[in-house]
Amino acid sequence: QPLTWFSRVWQRKGIDNQSVRPQAWQEKYNARGNFDENSIELKFDNKNPLTRRQVAELCHEIESQSTRLRLIELKLRRAGDKDSYDQDAWQGSVTVGYRKARIRE
């Protein structure tokens, strides 16, 4: 149950269940890099933004607790009003997964 594993990770870091929305697992082949990639995107939106510290701790916890999963992509932008630089509220997504080389026969 990968989604249960992910929810335990963010709950251990004190992140509310409403703040993170996991998307479906994706399997794709990258022809240019000649590898298969399995990934999942975890989104956090403007309604329940995270602090930069929470995002960093979530990413660190995922990588340290799994032998295979690594961060593939991290997208962050300020939540709420674009002129509110004093607030530490961020929305975005983190793509987590693993890549496996495709061996030609």
* pLDDT tens digits for range 69-100: 999 999 999 887 767 777 888 999 999 999 88
**What does the pLDDT read at residue 80?**
77
**The two three-digit tokens of residue 6, written as one number:** 């992910």
Mean per-residue pLDDT over the chain, rounded: 88
Across 25-41, average pLDDT: 87
The more confident residue out of 31 and 94 is 94
Q: Calculate what percentage of the chain has a pLDDT beyond 90.
A: 51
Q: How far apart are CA 13 and CA 73, in angstroms?
A: 20
**What does the pLDDT read at residue 20?**
92
Residues 96 and 69: beta-carbon distance below 8 Å: yes
Q: How far apart are CA 52 and CA 38, in angstroms?
A: 26
Residues 92 and 19: beta-carbon distance below 8 Å: no
